[in-house]
Amino acid sequence: MKDNSPVAETPAPGRRPAWLKAPSRHALLSGGSVTFMFIAWVVVTETGLANELFLPGPIAVFDSFIKVATKGYQGATLLEHVGVSLYRIMAGFVLACLVGIPLGVAMAVSRSAKAVFNPFIEFYRPLPPLGLYTLLVMWLGIGEESKLALLFLAGLPGIIIATIQAVTNIDPIYVRAARSLGASRRQLLFQVYLPGAGPIILTGMRISLGFTYTVLVAAEIVAATAGIGWMIWDAAKFLLSDVVIMGLIVLGLTGVMLDAAMRFIGGLVMPWTRHGTS
């Protein structure tokens, strides 16, 4: 009697298992560049080439991380600062996606919609965030509303432009084929436009999220009492460079994790983008 029970696959003779494979050349280059920068940081600070007041060493920055994480900074721990900033970023970014993607699709498929909205988008897109923020504070006050509005407006243009480009690049043959089969506008939207435009829209969302993250400090410098951007700004006023550098590192690592989470979610929602968002 033939045994059909599953048998664990064994690697071919002379072939290493996947988990034993050596790191790729690009991974080694990335690790080497990070290691080089860290060693240069240590050398510059330990030899006195840089004033410790302006560039503290890695140990001082790590001590600052432990202190802020456990005892807090200005009444809030590091986790609380990061949590407040993430709430502001995600609230503004999600709202920008909810408005920007449908508006981008509408502007791509309708010349009238593009003629109506494009002048306003092109006008405020190059405006500097701090200049725009002053007007938002006058209109909405110094509370959370003006901060969320600034982050929303920072993320909106990139999403709209990416969506327009993505929908415009869809092969018209697919649209005509769907219409010839009797597809409604709703079916065209969810079964042709959005699936076909998915990779470029996802890339635009990642770029937009990164730009929204860069505006965070500007959004938190006015009448804020918590947030990683506010912590960096406040520490800089007192020349606490160890807190500033620690905050920048945390800000960068948090941004990397957000981008990785977006790529992961995008791969789940749109599996056909998994090979195009690395």
Residue 230: predicted pLDDT: 92
Which pLDDT value is given to residue 19? 47
Domains and CATH numbers, the chain: 80-226 (1.10.3720.10)
What is the 3-state secondary structure of the chain? CCCCCCCCCCCCCCCCCHHHCCCCHHHHHHHHHHHHHHHHHHHHHHCCCCCCCCCCCHHHHHHHHHHHHHCCECCECHHHHHHHHHHHHHHHHHHHHHHHHHHHHHHHHCHHHHHHHHHHHHHHCCCCHHHHHHHHHHHHCCCHHHHHHHHHHHHHHHHHHHHHHHHHCCCHHHHHHHHHCCCCHHHHHHHHHHHHHHHHHHHHHHHHHHHHHHCHHHHHCCCCCCCHHHHHHHHHHCCCHHHHHHHHHHHHHHHHHHHHHHHHHHHHHCHHHCCCCC
**Do the Cβ atoms of 199 and 186 come closer than 8 Å?**
no
d(CA 52, CA 237) in angstroms, rounded, equals 16
3-state SS of 70-106 is: HCCECCECHHHHHHHHHHHHHHHHHHHHHHHHHHHHH
**What is the pLDDT at residue 22?**
63
Phi-psi region of 48 (alpha: psi -120 to 50; beta: other; left: phi over 0): left
pLDDT at 8: 47
Tens-digit pLDDT profile for residues 149-172 = 999 999 999 999 999 999 888 888
pTM summary value? 0.80
Which portions of the chain are predicted below pLDDT 70?
A: 1-23, 272-278
Write down the pLDDT at residue 134: 85
The predicted pLDDT at position 20 comes to 54
Cα separation, 92 vs 210, whole angstroms: 12
